[in-house]
Amino acid sequence: MPELPEVETTRRGVAPYLEGHRVESVVVRQPRLRWPVPPDLAELLAGQRPREVARRGKYLLIGFGHGTVLVHLGMSGSLRLVPRDQPPGRHDHLDLVLDSGLALRLTDPRRFGAVLWQSPGEVHQLLASLGPEPLSENFDAGCLQRACKGRRSPIKQLIMDSKVVVGVGNIYANEALFAAGIHPKRAAGRISPQRLERLVVEIKTVLARAIEQGGTTLRDFVGGDGKPGYFSQQLMVYGRAGEPCVRCGAPLREIRLGQRSTVFCADCQR
């Protein structure tokens, strides 16, 4: 699944080609995604110019003067800029056709993605309960300490809770916990403030480094500019079960937490 760095990479890739350009038409080939595409989307967007392309968690927000298009890439979706007359593939479900001669094309083999509409002055229900952005000043040691207080749930599941902090997906939760030396199953409420402070630093560091590298290429993800991410070459634990730990050489272990693959070093993470 594309995670926050991949979505941010996509945002940066497509924004210069969208902002200020007029949408000439909208082509919806498959309206049945995770949620139905608004039936009046073409009417809402034709002739309008996106003012900005922002991101909230894993949602891309294409802002117009009269509302916002929310795009979620689901499990295997991607956005690409293609020539407007390029024939669509089997899984190319929606195009925003631009006056530049390009089209922003949503490809989503599994159809778990979404294209939705947010009216001005409203906050879509999918965004209303989201926690702070992990790279913002609002996410700090105090914020995480308050979220962990009295909690018995494993720390990995807590930092992946979008109500606590948005966008810390499975890959980067694994990596941040390893960097911080914290066992993924440790009860959140039993971690010292000092260790939580380090975890915040490592979450920010891992995500920022992944964004710099263009996201992580895993299976279906390709950045909005057609270039893959390269952070997968720097993964310390994720996807490396059974391989030696880069720190101590012990074999990395894999367990399931919340139905997610969790890889860690039993010697380095306590």
11 is in an annotated binding site: no
Token pair 């994720």 in the structure block, residue: 238
C-alpha 130/C-alpha 150 separation (Å) is 21
Catalytic option among 3, 6, 8, 202: 3
User: What is the C-alpha radius of gyration for the chain, rounded to an integer number of angstroms?
Assistant: 20
For the chain, give percent helix, strand, coil, nearest 5.
30, 25, 50
C-alpha 227/C-alpha 215 separation (Å) is 10
193-212 and 170-180 helices cross at what angle (nearest 10)?
130
Tokens representing residue 127 in the block: 């965004």
C-alpha 164/C-alpha 142 separation (Å) is 12
Catalytic option among 56, 58, 105, 198: 58
Of 126, 144, 123, 145, whose CA–CA distance to 134 is shortest?
A: 144
151 is in an annotated binding site: yes
Element (H or E) spanning 29, and its range? Answer: none
110 is in an annotated binding site: yes
Is 58 designated active site? yes
Bridge partner residues of 55 (DSSP):
60
Catalytic option among 34, 186, 253, 260: 260
What is the separation of C-alpha 100 from the centre of its chain, rounded to a whole number of angstroms?
28
Is 2 designated active site? yes
Annotated binding site: 91, 110, 151
Annotated binding site for DNA: 91, 110, 151
Q: Which residues are catalytic?
A: 2-3, 58, 260
